[in-house]
């Protein structure tokens, strides 16, 4: 790991000065590596084209693949999806914050146009203090994606970062091992049709999601 751009931070009691520095990096089109409750991720400002491009370059990810958006609050979900629904609000309140990514229909255009090639948008609200405070300190939603080269294993601690990721990121926040050490569960949801599809099993138990979804009525 590149020690020059790495800062240790306590995940339970993060240093406000370190978080402020990370937020400043993000606002300047930077990319940071940080822990979540699942695996280590890359974060960048969601509507900054230069930052989006840098994340894709770091990961070696093909163009045309979407990233998830890490939101500061449930109320922000409507800003990105363009729709509100009582059942959706109930579901969001039941699963967020949590180790889950919800893929929801997108019913409004977003800027930059990068997002408008996708009919859906992935929404994440980690149950992790550093992740959520990064969004709060940045004052804007962030994209989130695992901090690995595309197709390679996802790191559950900073020591497992690919050297190219560690060196290429503008800042690495090392808070030790992640709680679950597996990625978030990804679920495509359409509450109006009362349908869902688990796209990727992960840290959020599928049976728990099934029970919560069934409870929507």
The CATH number of the domain holding residue 176 is 3.90.870.10
Task: Write the pLDDT tens digit of every residue in 23-76.
Answer: 999 999 999 999 999 999 999 999 999 999 999 999 998 877 899 999 999 999
User: How much is the pLDDT for 3?
Assistant: 61
Burial of 39 (0-12, 13-18, 19+ CB in 10 A): buried
Instruction: Give the separation between CA 172 and CA 45, rounded to whole angstroms.
Output: 16
Share of the chain above pLDDT 90, in %: 94
Task: Write the pLDDT tens digit of every residue in 166-214.
Answer: 999 999 999 999 999 999 999 999 999 999 999 999 999 999 999 999 9
Residue 84, domain extent: 3-214
Task: Please report which confidence band the pLDDT of residue 83 belongs to, taking 50, 70 and 90 as the band edges.
Answer: confident
Residue 158 has pLDDT above 60, yes or no: yes
The DSSP 8-state label assigned to residue 117 in this structure reads G
Number of structural domains, the chain? Answer: 1
């Amino acid at each position: 790991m590149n020690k020059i751009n790495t800062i240790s931070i306590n995940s339970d009691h993060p240093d406000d000065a370190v978080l402020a520095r990370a937020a400043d990096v993000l606002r300047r089109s930077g990319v940071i590596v940080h822990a979540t409750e699942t695996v280590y991720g890359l974060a960048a400002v969601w509507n900054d084209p230069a930052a989006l491009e840098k994340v894709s370059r770091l990961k070696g990810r093909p163009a045309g693949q979407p990233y998830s958006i890490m939101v500061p609050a449930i109320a922000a979900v409507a800003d990105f999806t363009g729709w509100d629904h009582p059942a959706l609000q109930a579901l969001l309140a039941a699963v967020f914050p949590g180790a889950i990514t919800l893929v929801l229909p997108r019913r409004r255009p977003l800027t930059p146009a990068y997002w408008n090639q996708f009919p859906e948008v992935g929404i994440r609200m980690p149950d992790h203090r550093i992740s959520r405070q990064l969004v709060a300190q940045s004052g804007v939603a962030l994209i989130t994606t695992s901090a690995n080269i595309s197709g390679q294993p996802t790191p559950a601690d900073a020591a497992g970062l690919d050297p190219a990721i560690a060196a290429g990121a503008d800042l690495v926040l090392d808070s030790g091992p992640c709680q679950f050490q597996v990625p978030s569960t990804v679920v495509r949801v359409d509450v109006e049709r009362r349908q869902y599809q688990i796209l990727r099993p992960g840290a959020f138990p599928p049976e728990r999601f099934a029970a919560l979804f069934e409870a929507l009525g």
